[in-house]
Amino acid sequence: MLGAGTVRAGEIRNTAALRATVPGGPQVLIPSNTVTLRAQEPCTPSVTPDGQPGAARVISSAAPGTILIPYTVGVQGDQGGPVTLNASLLEATEGVQVRVQDSAAADARELTSLTLNPGQSREVTVAVTVTRALTATLNVNLAATCGGRSDSVNVTQVRLQPVAALLLSHSVTPVLAQPGDEPTFTLTLPVSVPAGGSASLTVTLPAGLSYVPDSAQLGANGAPVTATVSADGRQVTFTPGTVSAGQTLTVTYRARIGVEAVDGSGREQDLSATGVATVTGPDGQVTRSNEASATVRVTPGVFDRRATLIGEVFLDVNGNGRRDPQDSPLAGARVLLASGVQAVTDEMGRYALRNLTPGPWLVTLDRDTAPFAPVPGFGPRVADVFALTRLDFALQQPSAVTGSGLPSGASAPMNTTVRQGPLLITRSVSPTAGGGSVVTLTVSSARPVQDVTVTDRATPDGEARTFALGVLSSAVTLQYVTLTPAGSNDPDVLWREP
């Protein structure tokens, strides 16, 4: 037997009783405990705002473009679960796409479903992308479904008006020029104003650029265009006349590059001319374009004031400070400036430091790569660098010692001769008083050869020293210094026949 108890919303209480009759005896009533039955409300999605087609919220926007519509999706009832989302247009429209995404950010991801707990909600965004100019009213709907229940009508009305956009472009030819040049600038304007109108293009020139009078013309037929120049010469306004919808207006003009475009550093400079266009319609409405810039890079050309410092580093046999035939070039020596700029001497002991600002520079040698005392007056010093300046480093020839004067572990001079093809290489090693060695390589050829590369090591396991010669037509002496005793070694040589 079931007895109905107290009933509340979503809840039923029941009590059962067992009645038993014993033969020849009394009836026995055995009650049970009370059982409460709770009805679970299923997952019920809810979308806000919940506009209807005839009573929806209204958003006005321009087209083309993207309209972002915020919605809130929640779950009511006693159960949660996955909620499926679907955005659509009640009336399909060409050039319009809609989707649900997880936010209004530019990198938002598409969202087709989300999982919510009972009472939980989340913000989502419906993105409406319009790819063409359009006058229309769009009914955008977001439907949500969870289990067998749905909230299927949640409409937002979007009213579109076409954008009258003027997209101006600005270019220059050539993009690399020098003072005195007159590069040609081109302004291009597709006219998208429905009724057309009177066009005006204004260009602002930077210091260093000046408009060339009477150079403006229409790109299509070369007809002259009226140009009005401001008092300071920085602003030029072109008035080509009336334009019609759908027309593409092209105006070219020239600008002269002045010497003031190059600063004292002699570095390349970028000069940008900025243009903007307006079209005034028959009704007096003015439509303005974007700002468009064209940049020309100016090189100093003949006005280049940058300086170059060249010179040689050599072992001065007679100590006169001049490069004589018997002197030996010092390859691999590092020449340093106070600014940190550096150069390494080639196989002939030559170096070059370019693109220097004219003026005084402290020039020194790296002692690790040139461990010799300078000839008096030819060591580190200040050079007044201008245009092409020469500064040589004359170093004292290290004295070779023999016999009992040899340092401990040093040996007498060692000579090696290697012949490969037309090339003959004589290698000699002379110990120095400081415990190091001077290695001299004399390279000659029976006939002219090209791209000669000589590689030597102070010891068989030592660091390779490489010398490159472009053309070898006469004997060349190469020399390097080691801080420790050098041993015997056969140099390697590569070359190319002309």
d(CA 326, CA 321): 13
d(CA 387, CA 339): 19
CA distances from 383 to 349, 357, 359 (A): 19, 12, 8
CATH number at 169-303? 2.60.40.740
Q: What sign for the dihedral angle of Cα 175, 178, 184, 188?
A: positive
Low-confidence ranges of the chain (pLDDT < 70): 1-18, 20-22, 24-25, 28, 30, 32, 34-39, 133, 162-165, 220, 264-266, 302-304, 398-413, 433-434
The CATH superfamily label for domain 44-162 reads: Immunoglobulins (2.60.40.10)
What letter does residue 335 receive in the DSSP assignment?
Answer: E
- Supply the pLDDT for residue 8: 42
CATH topology of domain 307-396: Immunoglobulin-like (2.60.40)
Considering the entire predicted model, what is its pTM?
0.43
Q: What is the largest CA-CA distance in the chain?
A: 150
φ, ψ for residue 386 (rounded to 5)? -150, 135
Residues of the chain with CATH 2.60.40.10: 44-162, 307-396
Residues of the chain with CATH 2.60.40.740: 169-303
φ, ψ for residue 403 (rounded to 5)? 60, -135
CATH topology of domain 407-496: Immunoglobulin-like (2.60.40)
Q: Chain centroid to CA 291: how far? A: 23
CA distances from 125 to 48, 68, 105, 170, 437 (A): 12, 6, 10, 37, 79
Please list, in sequence order, all residues whose beta carbon lies within 8 angstroms of the beta carbon of residue 174, skipping any fewer than 6 positions away: 183, 296
Strands 121-130 and 292-298: what pairing?
A: unpaired
> How many of the other CB atoms lie within 10 Å of CB of 281?
16
φ, ψ for residue 490 (rounded to 5)? -95, 115
Using a 10 angstrom Cβ sphere, with 0-12 exposed, 13-18 middle and 19 or more buried, the burial of residue 364 is middle
- Supply the pLDDT for residue 220: 61
